Amino acid sequence: PQRSPGLPSACRWAFLEVGTNGDYDDGLQAYAAGVVEASASEELIYMHWMNTVVNYCGPFEYEVGYCERLKRFLEANLEWMQEEMERNKDSTYWHQVRLTLLQLKGLEDSYEGRVTFPTGRFTIKPLGFLLLQISGDLEDLEPALNRTKTQAALGSGSCSALIKLLPGHRDLLVAHNTWNSYQHMLRVIKKYWFQFREGPQEDYPLVPGNRVIFSSYPGTIFSCDDFYVLGSGLVTLETTIGNKNPALWKYVQPEGCVLEWVRNVVANRLALDGATWTDVFKKFNSGTYNNQWMIVDYKAFVPGRPSPGSRVLTILEQIPSLVMVADKTSELYLTSYWDSYRSPDVSFERVFNASGLQELVARYGDWFSYSKNPRAQIFQRNQSRVHDLDSMVRLMRYNDFLHDPLSRCEACVPEPNGENAISARSDLNPANGSYPFQALHQRSHGGIDVKVTSKSLAKAMSLLAASGPTWDQVPPFQWSTSPFRDQLHMGHPDLWKFLPIRVLWD
């Protein structure tokens, strides 16, 4: 890719482009794509694995009982999907599932130095590179499978998103920042251009989403953030809403479900619009990585024109046993924006109530509500300041917690809290403070990037991106001076102070 002139070259993004040749069988294309990606990014994969999952289920101290349950669950799920692929050989859905798993198989085989294209059934290690793909699914598999110490902190945010209709409807901007552990900051912007057909026969047309650019991680064959710009004219993104109702975990079963990471890859490939995307995605709901998805269809957006009434913005929310979908185009044009952050939308009352958030509001107050939590109020106050790409980046990197009254936590000592912002900096909260729940504590966690696109950028398969925790109103993050200097962070720079770049693919 090309970077805009005048910006620093040390942007702390890696870039990977993988394309395939349509003269070859889809399965061979998929497997080869995995082989090539592992070969090209082997060193980054090793460092990312060591930083993030090396001891998740061994080889040193780990929770043996939970890891055995997880291994059995994943093995049973992989076996069930193999059976469905054999049973539904002419299905476009299961063809795309197979291609996704073949790509992962190629990645795993290549990294281990034993490349052999599987002609029949194939196996994937349940606790190998699959762990990198299911990092989001694990947020819900852990409580569903009774892990004693889950990774997710109570109330922990996971991403902010804003879709903003500019004055006069002259453009529609789509922005996302990922909230994650700082050990996950080895980042890769990827472009895949796969010549896959919709189904297994040669007379099928190419999939609508055969080109995709996305923010990602080494060894991960989907975004995981998630933020995708698709050749079909769609931009798809999500923020995590989670599930706090233990009664729903009984619906998380290995048979009859396709884990979220696979379902979003398949939907991105097959969908032409928001309605078809949600129809594909909601099949075989796993009840894991429970998110609010936003599907923006730039084909339906005409600059300068009034609302078309539908199709521009489709929203999907998922929890175990329940998926709800609504077209929110009219609402977008009425209010000029759609914001998303850690909570089901107020119009999806069934999701909000079923996910257990009512009980958390009753216990902890407005922080867990939809419209009165800090991010909701900051978005409501500041979204009108967005008038171009640069101002969108500024809002998505906003964190002035020491001075902004909306960032205060009355039950905290001290009251200003780095979690309460559009881009969190929980590392800046004092370790000796007093906090009502875990998300507000000092943590190696926060907003680790921003991605923004527009109608013209999306058409050119392009975006703006900044890597690392925000440093606009707060000091930049530095490993050597942080309380987390002893956490493994192989391949990271010490000081994270990088400007946004415009990524333009050749």
Q: What is the pLDDT along the chain (506 residues), one digit of tens a residue?
A: 544 433 334 578 999 999 999 999 999 999 999 999 999 999 999 999 999 999 899 887 789 999 999 999 999 999 999 999 999 999 999 999 999 999 999 999 999 999 999 988 999 999 999 999 999 999 999 999 999 987 777 777 689 999 999 999 999 999 999 999 999 999 999 999 999 999 999 999 999 999 999 999 999 999 999 999 999 999 999 999 999 999 999 999 999 999 999 999 999 999 999 999 999 999 999 999 999 999 999 999 999 999 999 999 999 999 999 999 999 999 999 999 999 998 888 788 899 999 998 898 999 999 999 899 999 999 999 999 999 999 999 999 999 999 999 999 999 999 999 999 999 999 999 999 999 999 999 999 999 999 999 999 999 999 999 999 999 999 999 999 999 999 999 999 999 999 999 999 87
Write the secondary structure of 317-344 as one string of H (helix), E (strand) and C (coil): EEECCEEEEEECHHHHHHHCEEEECCCC
Range of the domain at 147: 14-503
Q: Do the domain assignments include residue 477?
A: yes
Instruction: Tell me if 57 sits within 8 A of 70, measured CB to CB.
Output: yes
User: What is the rounded CA–CA span in Å between residue 402 and residue 178?
Assistant: 22
Instruction: Tell me if 71 sits within 8 A of 79, measured CB to CB.
Output: no
Q: What is the pLDDT of residue 7?
A: 37
Residue 393 half-sphere exposure toward CB, CA atoms < 13 A: 22
Query: Which residues, 6 or more positions from 69, have their beta carbon under 8 angstroms from its beta carbon?
Result: 145, 146
Q: Do the domain assignments include residue 5?
A: no
Write down the H helix ranges in 234-328: 260-270, 274-281
> Which pair of structure tokens corresponds to residue 311?
């199709």
> Which pair of structure tokens corresponds to residue 318?
């998922």
DSSP symbols for 143-167? HHTT-SS-SSPTT----EEEEEEPG
List the Cα angle 487/16/192 in 5-degree steps: 125
Among 459, 442, 457, 444, which residue's Cα sits nearest to residue 500?
A: 457
Q: What is the pLDDT of residue 6?
A: 37
Residue 202, number of CB atoms within 10 A of its CB: 8
Q: Do the domain assignments include residue 133?
A: yes
Q: What is the pLDDT of residue 447?
A: 98
> Which pair of structure tokens corresponds to residue 194?
């796969």
Query: Which residues, 6 or more positions from 114, have their beta carbon under 8 angstroms from its beta carbon?
Result: none
Instruction: Tell me if 373 sits within 8 A of 366, measured CB to CB.
Output: yes
Q: What is the pLDDT of residue 59?
A: 80
Q: How far is CA 20 from CA 119, 211, 264, 469, in A?
A: 19, 11, 21, 34
Instruction: Tell me if 487 sits within 8 A of 184, measured CB to CB.
Output: no
> Which pair of structure tokens corresponds to residue 89?
């050989």
Q: Do the domain assignments include residue 457?
A: yes
Q: Do the domain assignments include residue 7?
A: no
Q: Do the domain assignments include residue 153?
A: yes
Number of domains in the chain: 1
H/E stretch holding 411 reads: none
Q: How far is CA 137 from CA 31, 260, 481, in A?
A: 23, 7, 33
Q: How far is CA 28 from CA 18, 25, 98, 101, in A?
A: 14, 5, 11, 12
How does strand 179-181 pair with strand 160-165? unpaired
User: What is the rounded CA–CA span in Å between residue 222 and residue 173?
Assistant: 22
Q: Do the domain assignments include residue 3?
A: no
Q: Do the domain assignments include residue 9?
A: no
Instruction: Tell me if 433 sits within 8 A of 414, measured CB to CB.
Output: yes
Residue 252 half-sphere exposure toward CB, CA atoms < 13 A: 29
Strand intervals (E) in 5-130: 13-19
Among 363, 320, 319, 365, which residue's Cα sits nearest to residue 345?
A: 319
Say which CATH number the domain at 421 has.
3.60.60.30
Question: Which residues are 56's β-sheet partners?
Answer: 58
User: What is the rounded CA–CA span in Å between residue 238 and residue 174?
Assistant: 11
> Which pair of structure tokens corresponds to residue 127?
């606790």
